[in-house]
Structure 1
């Protein structure tokens, strides 16, 4: 269950949203800052600096690579054309819907995000969360 929440935090691309994992409580905290402002970080504990860890956000290059991989798997010239447009994210999403591949794309993307979060948990030596039932 927590891994799904980590996945949502990872995919939130809003610049003013910074998510932290409280490793002790196994909860996710959102530090929503005013645009152009500084993080509040009121919940950070100076006594336990390792307790809170910032959750990364998906990068555009990573999302784009998933779209390329998805197109490569489906070998669809319309998807390939969409990836080469000026606004590939918008065109790809539209084309996926037109081709009735939306659910397939969502499942593919969810698997990629889950793998990325599991890797992040491993890199940060957070094993107990990985073992929680979903």
Structure 2
């Protein structure tokens, strides 16, 4: 369950949303950017600086590489063409739907995100959360 929530936070591309993992409580906290452009961070505990870690967000280059890999595994010239057009993210999504590959793409992308989050948990020495049943 937590891994799925981490995956959602990772895929949230809104720049105003910053997610933190509370390692003690094993919960995810959302911090919004204030009107002055700075994070709120009221919940951070100065006495336990290691308790909260910022959850990364997917980068465009990473998402694009997944699209390239998906196209490569499907060997579809229409998907390849979409990747080379203006606004490749929009065109790729449209083409995936048009070609009835949406479910396959969602599964592929979900696996990539899950692997990335599991790696992030390992890098941050949060192994006990990796083992939680889904």
Q: What's the TM-score, normalizing by structure 2?
A: 0.98
Contact 1:16 1:35 in 2 (8 A): no
Moved beyond 3 Å, runs of 4+: none
Alignment of 1:1-134 (within 5 A): 1-34=1-34, 37-134=37-134
Alignment size in residue pairs: 134
Structure 1 unaligned segments of length 5 or more: list them.
Answer: none
Structure 2 unaligned segments of length 5 or more: list them.
Answer: none
Contact 2:19 2:55 in 1 (8 A): yes
Contact 2:34 2:40 in 1 (8 A): no
Cα RMSD, aligned residues only: 0.8
Q: What's the TM-score, normalizing by structure 1?
A: 0.98
